[in-house]
Every structure is written in structure tokens, then in C-alpha cells.
Amino acid sequence: MTLPNQPDPIPGDESSINAIEQVIVPRAHDIGNFEVRRALPSRQRQMIGPFIFWDQMGPAEFLQGGGIDVRPHPHIGLSTVTYLLEGEVYHRDSLGSDMLIKPEELNWMTAGQGIVHSERERPELRGTPRRLFGIQSWVALPKTMEETAPAFEHYGSGEMPVLTDESKRVRLIAGSLYGQSSPVRTASETLYADISLTAGALLPVDPTHPERALYTLQGRIEINGDVFEPGQLLVLRAGDTLTVTALDDARLMLFGGEPMDGPRHIWWNFVSSSKERIEQAKEDWRSKRFDSVPGDAEDFIPLPGLS
């Protein structure tokens, strides 16, 4: 599909002025075998639309014998959303899901009342060097769905709409954009898109969604005369139309949606509108009341603070 035929906006026009509400610089976190850059939650912002957690994974180079090894761990009250640009991850969960995710594919795992999963390297790949690059995000569930039954869905790269013209490529992961809609099912109004721009391209971003952000993965971009580097999260002001100019070949993630129905409590891998529910989840994991992951039940990540 091609992008809608629309006139290129004028960089720096009045509708772009002060269009950036916040700039969030991710914090580095070492999760064992590699480093992630965490932009959400931050001191500046807890959520953008339903998105309550945003990690850039890599780009990481695994040498022979290395790889990603995230042991089984629990979640409640959210959906984990995994999208890769390079490499692959082997997902297994307590529902019995067994799925290899590859670039431009999507894993959408709804924890609801509780789920356990692991993310591993396939053993046969450990003998060769390889790269991993992607985004793992969490979306909070509406209060009425926090205790929904857990579920897992995988979407292949061919299932999501791709819109192109001579200088832009937009993969619509979730929600609606530029007259197209993604088949990915979400619990609330959600926007998520993977955008590639060639140097010099102009991308209009309209104010359709109440809360929006751009995350710069690769290349420099300019908005209203301000230059932004890779690895920055730009919170866009509600109601403003703006223009993104690619100064280099660039890759961006556009995400957001409707504001969530109230704040959330976050502790470790648990998200809830209720502090008491998080305390219950802690006790359930401590007491081994969560279901185990078939084929990956020998080890697990203990509750933080336990020796």
C-alpha cells in the first residue's frame, strides 16, 4: 500500500512550534547478558497512552556461546509487546505458547490475572556470533480488564499493513494511521508504528491520537529547527500537527493512544491500579502459585529482595 497523497508540510510552520512537550533520555540497565535503554517509566512520565514501559534492546552483538537468557518470570495487569528489528528471541509461556519471533514480527502477550514466560536463545544458535535489536514495551490494561484471562498472540510481518512512498516506509503495528488499520487486537485505543525515512524525507504527524510519542532508533531528525539524536523519546504535545524531517536515513517508532483510566502502580513485573493486588502477586510468586512454563520450569527469577 502507498502512503496517502498529501502535500509535504512546511518544516517549522506555526503548527509545529512547541510541539515537543518533553524529551526523555533513556537510562541504561544491565539485564545480565546485555544492556537495555529504558525510557518508560521515568521520573518525567509514567505512561504515554497505554504504554507504561519502553525498553530498547541492543543493538547487541552476542559472541559465540552467548545470547539472551531471560529466565521464567511473572506478569500481571499488562500486555508485553515485543517487536524486533534484528535477530530472534525464543518465547515460551505458562499457556504453552512456544514461538520464535523474528524481525518485523510481533508478540503480544496479555498477562491479565497472571502469566509466566521466558525469553531465550535457541541452543543451536549459540555457536555463532549474532545481533539482537528491538523494542519491548508494556501496555497497561484498562481497570475492567486487569483480571482478564491470560492470552498470547503472534503476528507475522505480512499481517501488518505497510505503507510506502519514495522516501518513507510505515509498518502499522497497532491502531490506525494514514487511513489504514492494523489487525492487531488491543484492549484500548493504541497507536504503534515502525517508520523508516530516507535522508531529506518529510513526515507529517497529525494530532488524531490524544497522547503520542516518537522514539528515535537510528539517524538524526529535525522538528521545528530542533535536532534530535538516536535514543531519545519525544513526547508530542496534544492537538499539535508537526513535521519530522530526516537529516539522515532514520528509523523511528511512533506510539501512544487514549490516556489510561487512571494511574498505575508498578513493582518489578507487576502493574495494577491496586497496591493490594500487587502485594498479592508478590506473595503468589513467592509461594509458587503461578503456573510454570512447560519445557522451561527448572529455573526462574526470584522475587527481588529474596536471598
Confirm or deny that 283 is annotated as ligand binding: no
- Please state, in angstroms and rounded to a whole number, the distance separating the CA atoms of residues 169 and 177: 13
The answer to whether 265 is annotated as binding is: no
pLDDT, tens digit, 9 for 90 and up, residues 176-193: 999 999 999 999 999 999
* Residue 151's pLDDT band (cuts 50, 70, 90): very high
The pLDDT tens digits for 249-289 are 999 999 999 999 999 999 999 999 999 999 999 999 999 99
Is 209 annotated to bind a ligand? Reply is no
Plot region of 194 (φ>0 → left; ψ -120 to 50 → alpha; else → beta):
beta
Compute the chain's Rg from CA coordinates: 19
Q: How far is CA 212 from the centre of its chain?
A: 13
Compute the distance between CA of residue 296 and CA of residue 108 in angstroms, rounded to an integer: 20
- CATH numbers and ranges of domains, the chain: 14-286 (2.60.120.10)
**Residue 73 annotated as part of some ligand binding site:** yes
Give the integer Cα–Cα distance in Å for 292 and 255: 32
Grid coordinates in use for 289?
Answer: 502459585
**What pTM was computed for the model?**
0.93
